[in-house]
Structures are given as structure tokens and as C-alpha cells.
Structure 1
Amino acid sequence: MYDSDKRKLLSLLSHGAIFLSTTLIAIGIPIGILFISDDPVVKENAKEAINFHFNVWFYGAIIAILTFITFGLLGFILVPIGFVVHWILTVVALVRVLEKPDEPFRYPFIFRLL
């Protein structure tokens, strides 16, 4: 079977890479794990983390556009909400991977490209 500790570590790295989301290198971590790992649960977690990166960037672009259009007024509301949701979902993913390492975590309310 698959090594449980290795599964946890690689899944945690995949989901935790979003904390580096301001850098484009952050998405490289789950992409690398997706191609290197042969564990199906780790692969699913890496795909989900990649999808979450795309969603964070997509919604961040929408927030940036709305902030620009409203001369910064909506930015005071939307930016903090975006960060809180982003961080909470990531922490939930990390906790869930530790609690149930044999199940891939699925983020709620995101678009999945992979």
C-alpha cells in the first residue's frame, strides 16, 4: 500500500503552497507533486490545490477590477473578506488532510479545471 506519512506530507505541501500564492512559484509545488507522486490520493489533493490556486487568482482579479472601478471603495470590504475566506479554506484543507489522510480534500464552491 502507500506510506501514510508520505501521503500526509505531500498532501499538506500541495494545499499549504497556497500560502505562497502571491508568487507564481507556489503553483509549481502541487504541479510538481502531481507529476512526481504515484499515490492516487496525493494526486487528487494536488489537482484540487491547483484548482484552488486558479480560483484564488480568478476571484482576486475580479476583486481588483471592482476595486479599481469603484476607486477603492469596494476594496475595503472585498479584500479582507477574500483573504479570510482564502486562509480559512486552506486551514480547513490542512486539518482535513491530517484527520483523514486516505481521502482527498475537496474545496467547496470552486470551479474545477482539472
Structure 2
Amino acid sequence: MKVALGLTFMITCTVVANLLMKLGAIARPEDRILRIVDWKTLAGLTSFGFAGLTYAWILAFLPLNVAQSYTAAQFVAVIFASAIVLSEPISMTQWVGISLIFAGIMIVGVGRGTII
């Protein structure tokens, strides 16, 4: 249970970090330097840091190949979050990719007997 919560927290931090980095990147289109120090960019980097620390903790409980497979869910979560928050469309090709990612996570988890 604690590993599942850790993975959920890590994925959430990664999604939030990606959204904040994007929002920071488009906040000041006229000034490339200020985009780097925009509060959204800095908050995104901090969120990536929390995700990294959480992932390091998760590795104490799961084999690396399984833990890394579960982190693939963050790609799907970022696609959904960018569609909701940034109104980015999800193409048919992306839907196919999302399905393949979920199938891969399930195959790896079932194959190792570690579905969380």
C-alpha cells in the first residue's frame, strides 16, 4: 500500500512539474532568461526534486525494472493533464500509445507478480 501511495505521489509530482515548467516557459515569451527564473519554472523544478526523492524511496521496495515500468504511467498522466489544463488535443496516435503503455505496465507487473 505504501509503495502504491509513493508511486501515486511521484507521478503526481511529475505531472505538476511538467505543467509548471510549461506554464513557466510560456509566461514570458519575450525574455528567455526570465523564463528560467519564473516562479512556475522554479516550482516545477522543485516538484521534479520531490518526485526524484520519492522514486529513490520506492526503489528500496521494488526491483528497478518493475519500478521503472510503473513510472511509465506518468507519460499518460501528463498527456491527460495537458489536455485538461492546457487544452492540448489528444490525437488518435496518442490514444494508441496510451493503450500500449497501460498494456506494458500490466504485462510487466503481472509477469513479476507485483501489480500494485
Structure number with bigger Rg? 2
Is the TM-score greater than 0.5?
A: no
Indicate the TM-score class for this superposition, using the shorter chain for normalisation. 0.3 to 0.5
Q: Which has the higher contact order (CA 8 A, sep 6+)?
A: 1
Choose between structure 1 and 2: higher helix proportion: 2
